[in-house]
Amino acid sequence: MSSTRLGDLLVARGLLTPVQRAAALVQQRRTGERLGRVLLTMGFVSRVDLARTLAAQWGREFVLVEPTMVDPVAARRFPLDATMSFRAVPLTDDGTTVVVASAEEPQPALIETLEVVYPGRALDIRITTEWDIDRAISVTHRRQLVDASIYGLYFRDQAESAYTVFTPAQYLGFVVLALGILAGLWAQPVFTLLMLNVPVTLLFLAVVVFRTIVGVSGAAAETQIVISTDDVRALDERTLPVYTILVPVFREANVIGNLIRAIGELDYPIDKLDVLVLFEENDPETLAAAKAAAPGAHVRFMVVPAGELQTKPKACNVGLLYAQGEHLVIYDAEDRPEPDQLKKAVLAFRRGPSRLACVQAALNYYNWNENFLTRMFTLEYSFWFDYLLPGLDRLRLPIPLGGTSNHFRTAVLRELGGWDPFNVTEDADLGIRAAMHGYRVGIINSTTYEEANKRLGNWLRQRSRWIKGYMQTALVFSRDPIALVRRAGLRQALGFMLLIAGTPLIFLLQPIAIGLTIGWLVTRTQALAPIFPPWLLYLSLFNLLLGNALAIYVNMFAVFKRRLHVLVLFALFNPFYWILHSIAAVKALGQLFTRPYFWEKTVHGLTRHGAPG
C-alpha cells in the first residue's frame, strides 16, 4: 500500500492539476466528504482513473469488470446483502482462489465474511469502479433483486403485505355480510334497509366530525414552524449525512431533464448526495433522455430488473437495496422540492424523537391555476398537507404518507421492509405500517411542488389508484383488529379506520345518499319514510347540510396558508369534485377485485406551466 495521499497520486499521474486538487481540498474541508467522492462529484477525475489510482494506493490490482467475467455461481454464493453492503462482487472461484472485485478498500469484515463463505480459498481482492459493481450485481443477482423488491415484505411478514387481498376471515365476513343483506332484503326489506342506513349515517357523521377535528387541529398547528431558515443556515455541512434520493421514473423522458436540474438546485452538498434514478427495463427512452442530461457523478442510473410486477414501490425497493445514504427521500420526476428541504429533514430527524422514522414535506401544485381540475386539486392538497396531516401529527394519529417527498431514516425503512409493491398507495401503507411498529411520522414545513392533473381521464386514473390503495391498506391493517388496537392504541386505530377505510367507503356511499336526497326532493315520495325515522332523518340532514358545509369551509381556509385566495370560491364546487371521487371509487372497487395490483400510470408533463422559482 502506498502512503502517498490520493490527491498527490492523481497529480503525479497527471490525472489532476494542483489547482483542481486545491479546490477539491477546500470542498472536502467544507463538507467532510472523502476526497475521491469530492473529486468525482466535482468532475475532476473519471471513475476509472480514480479506481485505478485507489487500487495503486491500496496496493491492489485494478480490474474493469465486464458481466461476462463474473461466474454467476461464485457470485451468488456471496449473499446479496453482503454484496450490497461491502460493495464487493466475487468474480471467479476455481476452488483454490476466489477473485473478488470491490469498489471500496477491503476491510477486515469483508475478508472475514469471504473466508466464511469461501472457506479454504485464497482471496484475490481487486479494485474496480462503483458502476462496475452495480452492473455486476444487477446481472448476477437479477432474480434475487426481483424477489427482494417484490416479495421482500411478503416473505418477511405476510400479514403486512397486500399480496393477499383478503384473508379467509375477511372474505368470509364479507360473504356472510353480503348474503345476510340479500336475505334481509328478501325477508324484511324495510328493516334491512333501516339497519343499513343506521351505520351508514353514523359513518358519515363520524367522518364529518373526525375530519373537522383533525382539520381544526391542523389549523392550530399552522403557526408552528418546525425548522426555520436560520436553523438551516446554522447547519455545519460537515455533519450532514449522505442523502439518497430515489427517483422512480417510467416513460417520463419529457420531464427527466428538469428533475436532474431541480436536484442540482438542492441546497445540499453534492458530494453527499446519492441520487438513484430508477428506470424500468422496458423504458429505454427515459434512460436515453437522462443520459443526455449528463448528470454529475452523484447521480446513478439503475435499471430495475423486470419481474412479475412493475410498480413504483418495486422500483423503490430496488433503489433501497442500492441506497448508500443515511437518509432517503423519494421524488417524482416532475417534482420541484424547495432547495433546503433535505437540510430541514436532517434537522427534523435530529430534533425529532428517536422513533421518528419519516418526515413528510408538504406537496402542492405549481400549475394550480391551469384549469378547474387543477384548482380543485390544489384546494384538496392544501387542506390535506397543510391542515389534515399536521392535524394528524398534532393528535398523534397515524399519518398516511404522500406519494413523494417523504424522508426516511434508511435503516428504519429497511427494518420496516421497504415499500409494499402490491399496494398501489405504498406511501400511505408505509406511513401506517411505521405507526403500527411504533415509529412516528412527522411533518416538516417544506413544500415540494408537483404537477396537478389537468385532464379528467388522467385524474380519474390517478385517483382510482389512490382509492384502491386505501382499500388495500384498510384491508391489510384490519386483518387483525385486536392486534391493531393493541399495537397502535384505540385512538390511533380508530383514526386509521376513519381516514383510510372511511374515505373509500364515503366515496362509494355518497352517490346513493345524493341520489336518495335528489329523489326525495323531486318526487316528495313517502316511500323512504320507513327507512328514515325522524332521528335518523335529522342526522342525515345534519350530515348533508352541515357536513358538506364544514367540508367546504375547511377547504376554504386551506388556501389561506398559501395565500391562494383566489381559490376560495372554488371550494363551493367541492360537491361536484366529490362526485368525481365517487366515480373513481367505483372504478377502484372494481379493480380491487379484478386487477388489485394494477398500477394506473399517471401521465406527467402535460402542463404548460413552469415550477415556481
Confirm or reject binding of residue 171 to other proteins (CB under 8 A).
yes
- In angstroms, what is the minimal distance from the CB of 168 to other proteins? 6
Contacting other proteins (CB under 8 A), which of 78, 86, 118, 163?
A: 163
Examine residue 165 and tell whether it contacts other proteins (CB under 8 A). Answer: yes
Between 182 and 518, CB nearer to other proteins: 182
Residues in 1-40 that interact with other proteins by CB under 8 A: none
Nearest-CA neighbor of 318 among 80, 598, 79, 65? 80
Q: How far is the CB of 187 from other proteins (least distance, A)?
A: 9
Between 163 and 578, CB nearer to other proteins: 163
> Quick count: other Cβ atoms within 10 Å of Cβ 534?
8
- Among 161-169, 239-247, 291-299, 369-377, the segment contacting other proteins (CB under 8 A): 161-169
Q: How far apart are CA 223 and CA 586, in angstroms?
A: 38
Q: Which helix (H) or strand (E) holds 88?
A: strand 88-93
CB 196 within 8 A of CB 506: no
Q: Does 168 bind other proteins (CB under 8 A)?
A: yes
Q: How far apart are CA 124 and CA 541, in angstroms?
A: 78
Complex with other proteins: residue 43 or 189, whichever CB lies closer? 189
Nearer to other proteins, 164 or 212 (CB): 164
Q: Which of 64, 109, 177, 182 binds other proteins (CB under 8 A)?
A: 182
- Is 157 a binder of other proteins (CB under 8 A)? no
CB of 479 to other proteins, least distance (A): 11
Distant-in-sequence contacts of 54-57, Cβ < 8 A, 24+ apart: 54/6, 54/105, 54/127, 55/126, 55/127, 56/2, 56/9, 57/1, 57/2, 57/4, 57/6, 57/9
**Can you tell me which of 179, 411, 518, 541 binds other proteins, judged by CB under 8 A?**
179
Sign of CA dihedral 383, 386, 387, 391: positive
Question: Which segment (177-185, 406-414, 564-572, 575-583) binds other proteins by CB under 8 A?
Answer: 177-185
Residue 306 engages other proteins in binding (rule: CB under 8 A): no
Spatial CB neighbours of 265, under 8 Å, sequence gap ≥ 6: 339
- For other proteins, which stretch binds (CB under 8 A), given 57-65, 100-108, 166-174, 269-277? 166-174
The DSSP letter of residue 90 is E
Residues 126-155 interacting with other proteins (rule: CB under 8 A): 151
Measured between alpha carbons, how far is 93 from 96 in angstroms, rounded to an integer? Answer: 7
List the grid coordinates of 174: 364479507
| Single residue of 58, 62, 131, 166 touching other proteins by CB under 8 A | 166
Closest CB 592 distance from other proteins, rounded Å: 9
Nearer to other proteins, 185 or 603 (CB): 185
* Contact call for residue 527 and other proteins (CB under 8 A): no
Q: Applying CB under 8 A, does 254 fall inside the site for other proteins?
A: no
Sheet containing strand 122-127, strands side by side: 88-93, 97-102, 122-127
Residues β-bridged to residue 444: 361
- Minimum Å gap between C-beta 283 and other proteins is 22
Stretch 536-595 residues interacting with other proteins (CB under 8 A): 593
- Should residue 528 be labelled a site residue for other proteins when binding is judged by CB under 8 A? no
Report the alpha-carbon distance of residue 596 to residue 609 in Å, rounded: 34
Write the burial class of residue 145 (CB in 10 Å: 0-12 exposed, 13-18 middle, 19+ buried): buried
Residues near other proteins, by CB under 8 A: 151, 163-168, 171, 175, 178-179, 182-183, 185-186, 308, 593, 596
